[in-house]
Chain A
Amino acid sequence: MGLKSSISEALKIKKIIQEQGNDVTIISVSKANAQGVEAHTTGEGIYDTLVTNMQMYSECIARDAKYIADVAWGFDQLDQEIGNQHRSS
């Protein structure tokens, strides 16, 4: 199995993860006029937390996808180096 094949696989998956990851966020909803209703306050609170978490999560996914790309780039470099060594020998 050539390294090139791994690189193309990694980059393909990276692309998909990044596309999904960059968009894993949810838009907020406007606050309804509600006071003192415990269930509603809790529900809104959980949703708000989820929105905040999703923004953070989206950053993690983008970072991880970039890491896959970095690793793939590293393999590519290695592949070229090996190729050069073969040619020079």
Chain B
Amino acid sequence: MVKLTIGSVKSELQMMNINLTGLKSKTQTLKNRFTQFSSNQELTGTAYNSHKDYIENMQNPTADGINQLCDIMITSNNEYSSALDEYFGDVHEIDEAKWRTEYEGLVANYNSLNGYFNWFMEFLGRISGAAAGIKEHYDIHGMLRTANSLGEQLELIREDIEWYREHIEKIGELLSATSGIYIHANMLSEAIGPAISLLGKISVGADGGYNVCAVNRKVFQDIQNAKIMIEVSQKLQSELGDDYLSGEAFAALESDEQIKYISRLAEVVQKYFPSLSSDLAEGMIEIPLAPGLYLYAGESIAVDVETDSPATLKIAVGKNKEILTNWEVNVGNIRGENFDDGWSVGHTYKIDDKSTAYIKVELGSLTNEVKGEWGVETKVDNGGMVTTKCGIKVKNSDEQWQTVPAADFQLNGVDNIKFDSELWEYLGPIFGPAPSPVPVFG
């Protein structure tokens, strides 16, 4: 259940942003001093050089990361604040539990009042059909005024019920619209945390130099990788605009629509990040794009280690990279062939005797993942194959990026009208205008 005081949350976001702006400026100054130190030619010697290396490769990436994290947090906080305005600009406090209770109470009141109203109308109908001597015992016009006033009250309650229904539904919309807001900040924060922790543990050796092993250096490289990943993700978001999909939305598309989406994604990725597969740290990379959706890239090499030489592999890797870099030119000029092997569907593009480009989507797998991929396969002399690829995958199992679950409470809208309009057609000319028809909530 969501409970949130809009004003407090917004002022907290504002306060956070003021602090982040201050921190950003301090880390920027600190970084400038680091640079001044590491580029100072007068300071030489083992201890100074070791310190310079440490500053260059560990302190600087950390300071850069903190700086960028501040920027991303500020943007995300602003986005969150705007979302609150957009969905709940007219309320002071969101209290889902209270709203639901009040909604249910109002519906119960409404239904009971409506029951009485209908009984009353039937009673009026019976009187109007009664013999003249009986009819005159009743103040029918007075009764009609009561009926009209009851109808108006019901209408007012109905409006209140509608307000609650709309606002409870908006909670779900807000949750869904804001679920991915802090994805990038989270990514960077996760890379910075270990780096700062490690900075505190790096010791100075007997020779006056810092003790940093290669494994530890990678922790700082991870910050740079996270920054590249965020850059890719943000660029895709801005280029694809409204077409930018969540994992759930991608999985829900028909396979030909998925192929179209992958083709569009391939154009954008290859245009702005032509060597994504080889840019980042070794091995396969995964970039969270949206809740439940990851971009992956990398190379897979299937070769015979005894007969395929490293030189031929290098040539194949280079060729794949070149084809991917000029993706639109290479693939756009070739007529693709459709394929459907039962597991995946897509198009292949024969570049030459050795290389084939492809776009495909996997229709289903045991791992509960949905995948869309583009890439190039190049044969190596002795039967091996080098595949360089990018793609997106939908992961349902990863809790961290799971979409917000849909609201568990279904609200019923107006469903039927119990007011007997035919009866009023008959009574109308006698008693005047009919009360508004009244819907019943069930």
Contact = CB atoms under 8 A, between A and B. Distances in A.
A74 to B, nearest CB: 7
Interface in A6-64: 6, 9-10, 13, 16-17, 20-21, 23-24, 26-27, 29-40, 42-44, 46-47, 49-50, 53-54, 56-57, 59-61, 64
A29 B15 contact: yes
A20 B208 contact: no
B260 to A, nearest CB: 30
B437 interface: no
Interface in B181-225: 181-182, 185-186, 189, 192-193, 196-197, 199-200, 204, 208
A54 B33 CA distance: 18
A34 B3 contact: yes
A39 B323 CA distance: 40
B40 A13 contact: yes
A50 B47 CA distance: 31
B332 interface: no
A20 B15 CA distance: 22
B106 interface: no
Interface string B49-84: 001001000010010001001000100110010010
A23 B33 CA distance: 14
B189 A71 contact: no
Given A35-B2, A35-B4, A68-B51, A43 B185 contact: yes
A47 B16 contact: yes
Contacts of A1: 42
A33 B9 CA distance: 7
Given A23-B26, A53-B192, A39 B199 contact: no
A38 B186 CA distance: 13
Interface string B7-42: 011011101100110110011011001101100101
A10 B80 CA distance: 44
B30 A20 contact: yes
A39 B179 contact: yes
Contacts, number: 150
B2 A37 contact: yes
Contact of B1 (A35, A74, A75): A35
Contacts of B193: 49, 53
B240 interface: no
B2 A6 contact: no
B45 interface: yes
Q: How large is the interface on A (under 10, 10 to 19, 20 to 34, 35 or more residues)?
A: 35 or more
Contacts of A26: 19-20, 22-23
Interface in B102-155: none
Contact of A9 (B27, B40, B181): B40
A57 B76 contact: no
B12 A29 contact: yes
Contacts of A17: 30, 33-34, 37
A6 B44 contact: yes
Nearest to A40: B9
A5 B45 CA distance: 14
Contact of B23 (A35, A54, A61): A54
Interface of A: 1, 5-6, 9-10, 13, 16-17, 20-21, 23-24, 26-27, 29-40, 42-44, 46-47, 49-50, 53-54, 56-57, 59-61, 64, 67-68, 71, 74-75
30 contacts: A6-B42, A9-B40, A20-B29, A24-B26, A29-B15, A32-B5, A32-B9, A33-B8, A34-B9, A35-B3, A36-B96, A37-B2, A38-B175, A38-B178, A39-B80, A39-B175, A42-B182, A46-B73, A47-B73, A49-B193, A53-B192, A54-B23, A56-B197, A56-B200, A57-B196, A57-B199, A60-B200, A67-B204, A68-B51, A71-B45
